[in-house]
C-alpha cells in the first residue's frame, strides 16, 4: 500500500478515521492525504473563507495528532459535492485505499441516495475502509465474509495485498443455504434426518470453502465458520462472537438493479454493523483485467 486518502469533515467520526489512516500509513510506509471538502453551494466569499480555515485545521491536525507524527502526510482542500470530490481525488492520486468515518444517517434521504460513504463505496476505484471504532492499535482479529464468488475472492486478495491480514488472526465466514431443507420439512421427514442433511451440506460447503481459498491465502493460517442461515445475520453473529475489529467484504459496486439484488449484504453491513469494514469493489472497478 503506497497511497491512502482519508476524508474528514472534522467530526468525531472523521477524527477516528483520520487516526486509523495514520496507523495504517505508518504500518505500510504509505503516503497519507488528508482531504476536506467545502460545500460549493454557498457564496464565493464563504467558500474561500472555509477553504482557508479547512487547510489551517488540517495542518494543525498533522502537527498535533499522535498517529500522524513521522509519516508522509499532505493536506488537500477541495470544493464540491463530498462523494464526488473524494472519488476524483482518489482517482487522480491513484489511491490504494480510501478511509472514511461512519456518517450519520439521514432517514428518507438515505433510502433514495445513500450516505456519502455508501455513494463512495458504490463507485470507488479502490477499497474503502469505514471506521466505526477508536483507532487504538492495528487490526488483530479480521473477519472475511466469503460467498465463493469472484468478488469475495478479490476482496480477500485485496485485503492481503494491502497488508490487512499481516499479524492478525483471520476468520473466514461463509453462510450457506440447505436447499432441500424446506421440502424435507414439508414432506414430514423426521427431524433427525433433516439435521443429518444439514450437517452433510455444512461439511460439503466447508470443503468447498477450503478449496476456494487456497489460491487466495496459500499457506496462511486461518480459521473458518460455515453456518446455515441468512448471510448478514451469520456475519453479525460471528463478528460479535470472535470480537472482530475488521470485516472484509466484497461489493458489486456501481448502481442499478444489479447492485440492489447482489450488493445488498455489503450495503446492509455498512448500515448496521458496528465493526470497521473494508469494502472491496469488483476487479473491474480496480482496473484489473
Q: At 163, is the secondary structure helix, strand, or coil?
A: coil
Residues 124 and 143 occupy one common structural domain = no
Residues 131 and 192 occupy one common structural domain = no
Residues 130 and 152 occupy one common structural domain = no
Give dist(CA 266, CA 249) in Å, integer. 6
Residues 131 and 15 occupy one common structural domain = yes
Residues 149 and 263 occupy one common structural domain = yes
Give dist(CA 159, CA 238) in Å, integer. 19
Residues 10 and 131 occupy one common structural domain = yes
Tens-of-pLDDT digits for all 289 residues of the chain? 899 999 999 988 899 999 999 999 999 999 999 999 999 888 999 999 999 999 999 999 999 999 999 899 999 999 999 999 999 999 999 999 999 998 655 544 444 445 788 889 888 999 999 999 987 678 999 999 999 888 999 999 999 999 999 888 999 999 988 766 766 767 776 778 777 878 888 999 999 999 998 888 876 789 999 999 899 999 999 999 999 999 999 987 544 444 443 357 888 898 889 999 999 998 644 544 3
| pLDDT score at 214 | 86
Residues 24 and 83 occupy one common structural domain = yes
Residues 129 and 97 occupy one common structural domain = yes
Residues 210 and 121 occupy one common structural domain = no
| pLDDT score at 282 | 83
Residues 208 and 182 occupy one common structural domain = yes
CATH code of the domain containing 270: 3.40.50.620
Last residue of a domain, one of 116, 136, 156: 136
Count of structural domains within the chain: 2
Residues 69 and 7 occupy one common structural domain = yes
From residue 227, alpha-carbon distances to 77, 145, 146, 235 in Å are 46, 12, 12, 9
Last residue of a domain, one of 88, 112, 136: 136
Residues 164 and 240 occupy one common structural domain = yes
Give dist(CA 161, CA 220) in Å, integer. 13
Domain that holds residue 39: 1-136
Last residue of a domain, one of 83, 115, 136: 136
Amino acid at each position: 500500500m503506497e497511497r491512502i486518502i482519508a476524508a474528514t469533515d472534522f467530526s468525531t467520526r472523521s477524527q477516528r478515521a483520520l487516526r486509523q489512516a495514520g496507523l495504517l500509513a505508518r504500518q505500510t510506509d504509505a503516503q497519507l492525504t488528508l482531504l476536506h471538502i467545502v460545500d460549493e453551494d454557498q457564496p464565493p466569499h464563504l467558500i474561500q473563507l472555509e477553504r482557508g480555515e479547512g487547510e489551517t485545521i488540517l495542518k494543525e491536525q498533522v502537527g498535533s495528532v499522535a498517529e500522524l507524527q513521522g509519516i508522509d502526510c499532505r493536506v488537500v482542500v477541495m470544493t464540491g459535492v463530498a462523494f464526488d470530490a473524494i472519488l476524483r481525488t482518489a482517482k487522480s492520486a491513484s489511491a490504494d485505499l480510501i478511509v472514511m468515518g461512519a456518517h450519520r444517517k439521514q432517514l428518507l434521504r438515505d433510502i433514495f441516495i445513500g450516505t456519502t460513504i455508501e455513494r463512495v463505496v458504490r463507485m470507488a476505484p479502490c477499497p474503502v475502509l469505514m471506521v466505526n471504532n477508536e483507532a487504538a492499535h492495528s487490526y488483530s482479529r479480521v473477519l472475511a465474509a466469503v460467498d465463493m464468488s469472484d468478488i469475495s475472492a478479490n476482496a480477500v486478495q485485496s485485503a492481503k495485498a494491502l497488508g490487512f491480514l499481516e499479524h492478525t488472526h483471520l476468520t473466514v465466514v461463509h453462510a450457506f443455504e440447505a436447499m432441500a431443507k424446506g421440502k424435507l420439512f414439508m414432506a414430514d421427514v423426521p427431524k433427525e434426518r433433516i439435521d443429518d442433511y444439514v450437517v452433510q451440506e455444512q461439511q460439503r460447503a466447508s470443503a468447498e470453502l477450503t478449496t476456494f481459498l487456497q489460491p487466495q491465502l496459500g499457506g496462511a493460517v486461518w480459521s473458518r465458520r460455515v453456518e446455515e442461515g441468512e448471510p448478514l445475520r451469520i456475519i453479525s453473529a460471528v463478528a460479535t462472537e470472535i470480537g472482530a475489529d475488521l470485516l472484509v467484504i466484497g461489493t458489486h459496486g456501481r448502481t442499478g438493479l444489479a447492485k440492489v439484488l447482489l450488493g445488498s449484504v455489503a450495503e446492509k453491513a455498512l448500515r448496521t454493523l458496528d465493526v470497521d469494514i473494508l469494502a472491496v469493489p469488483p476487479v473491474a472497478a480496480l482496473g484489473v483485467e
